[in-house]
Amino acid sequence: MKISVVGTGYVGLVSGTCIAETGVNVACVDIDETKIEKLNNGIIPIYEPGLEDIYKKNVEKGRLEFTTDLGASIKDADAVFIAVGTPPDEDGSADLKYVLGVAREIGKNMDHYLVVVTKSTVPVGTSVKVKQAILEELEKRGEKIPFDVASNPEFLKEGSAVNDFLKPDRIVIGTESKRAQKVMQRLYKPFVLNGHPILFMDITSSEMTKYAANSMLATKISFINDIANLCELVGADVDNVRRGIGSDPRIGNKFIYPGTGYGGSCFPKDVQALIRTADEFNYSLDVLKAVEKVNYRQKEVLFNKLYKRFEGDLKGKKFALWGLSFKPKTDDMREAPSLVIIEKLLEAGASVAGYDPVAMHEAERILGDKISYAKDEYDALIDADALILVTEWSEFRLPNFRVMEKLLKSKIIFDGRNIYDPEELAELGFEYFAIGRKTK
Ligand code: UDX
């Protein structure tokens, strides 16, 4: 089989590379010439564990290639995947100009039956627009080439995207023809040998599934964050409450860890987009509106604790900040809680020494000289008035507190992910602040 994947961001690159792994010939397409040149020279533009190995292997085997030529990439292809970005526009709805632009290019260039698969996260109803755009281009050419559209949302987590693709919990595919279903079934069969299902459904339900999944997950996070804040007020410990509720399988113990609010490229954008979609149908998604509100508030919780501890006097103070990416195992800083905390600290006249195991370059690109960049986690602590832990990288879990107390100006830790033991820190003489826990 042969496929084309348009868009070499996280989704496109991971999908293309993993599909090549099954023996399919894959052409990855992007309009960004420098990106394609890099990919043709062995340089992967993103950090994603495990990706480099299978990328190299499949390039060597001649099954994975990179090109800017969309037209050539769909010659002899069985399917073309649209995996370009859908950034939010000013009002929060997803901007479809890239997706529809690709659809038009496909319409201009196709010369045989193709399944056109939307993999980007797109608002409900987009596949109809994709179909329309292709039809219009074919009409302009005076051609009547058959094709089908399909929706195939991704559920990849950054940091474990390769594993998620190779061993999915489920694959959701929206189609409207048996012919397209057959092509998709063939492509995805190698990934469900572990018995997990391929769920075929109508296109609208498939589009909706993606938003409902991410919104449900975001809801879990805002819910536990709200509970954590209340735990502090009533004197409970959210860590106990989390374990207490998580052992009920109806609730489940995953995705109920409190923190500094969800970030990343998906949850904030998708929650907003679904609220917008509902608004267009004059329906108010009140639960999700609250989820969003709670998340904004949560991103400021750690700063507020710090502000209170220092009685508002942050001018001239220096803070060490561990973890800049929006979560561990990625260099992605989109909507990262660290950015909100840094902005607030700078506004208050404090300075920040940041450290992150992989996001240092990305941080420099975004923040420039607004903060200083430490060599390692201990370097960041030198003369700092406190440590603020924002992202729970595993290398931060068991630091040497004896070394830390020598480097820090004052023995204070603000832990945004509850990774330390309050009792241990109290014994060591640290002042410890966490989210929703009993600390002294
Ligand atoms: C998410 C979805 O998980 C994935 O299925 C979808 O395809 C894209 O969006 P991702 O953005 O990579 O993936 O991150 P994820 O691991 O889901 O975490 C999202 C945010 O939630 C992070 O900021 C994380 O720190 C936060 N989170 C997660 C919590 O605060 N508590 C939790 O218990 C879990």
Give me the sign of the Cα torsion angle 409, 410, 412, 414.
negative
Tell the CATH topology of 211-297.
N-(1-d-carboxylethyl)-l-norvaline Dehydrogenase; domain 2 (1.10.1040)
Nearest residue (CA) to ligand 1, atom 21: 262
What radius of gyration, in Å, describes the C-alpha atoms of the chain?
24
C-alpha 361 to ligand 1 mean position (Å): 22
C-alpha 157 to ligand 1 mean position (Å): 7
C-alpha 272 to ligand 1 mean position (Å): 15
As to burial, measured by CB atoms within 10 angstroms (0-12 exposed, 13-18 middle, 19+ buried), residue 431 is middle
Nearest residue (CA) to ligand 1, atom 3: 157
By C-alpha distance, which of 1, 14, 15 is closest to 79?
1
Classify domain 299-433 by CATH architecture. 3-Layer(aba) Sandwich (3.40)
Q: What order of strands is seen across the sheet that includes strand 431-433?
A: 372-373, 351-355, 318-322, 386-389, 412-415, 431-433
Q: Which residue has the tokens 């917008």?
A: 276
For 46, left (φ over 0), alpha (ψ -120 to 50), or beta? beta
In the chain, which residues fall in CATH 3.40.50.720?
2-201, 299-433
Give the pLDDT score at 195: 87
Task: Extract the tokens encoding 291.
Answer: 């989820």
- Spatial distance between the Cα atoms of 204 and 92, rounded to a whole number of angstroms: 20
Which residues in 14-49 are b (16+ Cβ under 10 Å) and which e?
A: bbbbbbbbbebbbbbbbbeeebbeebeeeeeeebbe
Give the pLDDT score at 440: 64
What is the enclosing helix (H) or strand (E) of 67?
A: strand 64-67
DSSP letters spanning 158-181: TTSHHHHHHS-S-EEEEES-HHHH
ipTM above 0.90, yes or no: no
Nearest residue (CA) to ligand 1, atom 9: 266
C-alpha 273 to ligand 1 mean position (Å): 17
* 54 close to ligand 1 (CB < 6 Angstrom): no
8 Å CB contact between 415 and 432: yes
Q: Is 2-201 assigned to CATH 3.40.50.720?
A: yes
8 Å CB contact between 152 and 206: yes
By C-alpha distance, which of 264, 414, 397, 393 is closest to 339?
264
Which stretches in the chain have pLDDT values below 50?
Answer: none
What's 60's DSSP letter? Answer: H
C-alpha 263 to ligand 1 mean position (Å): 7
8 Å CB contact between 256 and 242: yes
Give the pLDDT score at 331: 92
* 156 close to ligand 1 (CB < 6 Angstrom): yes
**Substitution site in 327, 334, 419 for ligand 1 pocket (most atoms within 8 Å of beta carbon):** 327
8 Å CB contact between 119 and 133: no
* 391 close to ligand 1 (CB < 6 Angstrom): no
Q: Is 289 flagged in the annotation as binding? A: no
* 262 close to ligand 1 (CB < 6 Angstrom): yes
- Spatial distance between the Cα atoms of 267 and 287, rounded to a whole number of angstroms: 15
* 119 close to ligand 1 (CB < 6 Angstrom): no
Nearest residue (CA) to ligand 1, atom 5: 155
Q: Which of 18, 28, 231, 266 is catalytic?
A: 266
- Spatial distance between the Cα atoms of 410 and 384, rounded to a whole number of angstroms: 7
Active site residue 266: yes
* 267 close to ligand 1 (CB < 6 Angstrom): yes
End-to-end CA distance of the chain: 62
Give the pLDDT score at 438: 84
Give the pLDDT score at 314: 98
Give the pLDDT score at 194: 82
**Other beta carbons less than 10 A from residue 212's beta carbon:** 13
What are 252-293's pLDDT values in tens digits?
999 999 999 999 989 999 999 999 999 999 999 999 999 999
Task: Extract the tokens encoding 75.
Answer: 């010659």
C-alpha 221 to ligand 1 mean position (Å): 9
By C-alpha distance, which of 7, 3, 151, 5 is closest to 85?
7
The one-letter amino acid code at 84 reads V
Give the pLDDT score at 52: 96
By C-alpha distance, which of 295, 128, 152 is closest to 223?
295
Beta strand 114-118 pairing with 79-82: parallel
What is the enclosing helix (H) or strand (E) of 82?
A: strand 79-82
Q: Which atom of ligand 1 is nearest to the CA of 156?
A: 7
**Substitution site in 221, 255, 356, 418 for ligand 1 pocket (most atoms within 8 Å of beta carbon):** 221
By C-alpha distance, which of 201, 228, 177, 183 is closest to 418?
228
Give the pLDDT score at 241: 98
In the chain, which residues fall in CATH 1.10.1040.10?
211-297
What are 371-405's pLDDT values in tens digits?
999 999 999 999 999 999 999 999 999 999 999 99
Our measurement of the distance from residue 439's CA atom to the centroid of its chain's CA atoms, rounded to an integer in Å, reads 31
Give the pLDDT score at 355: 98
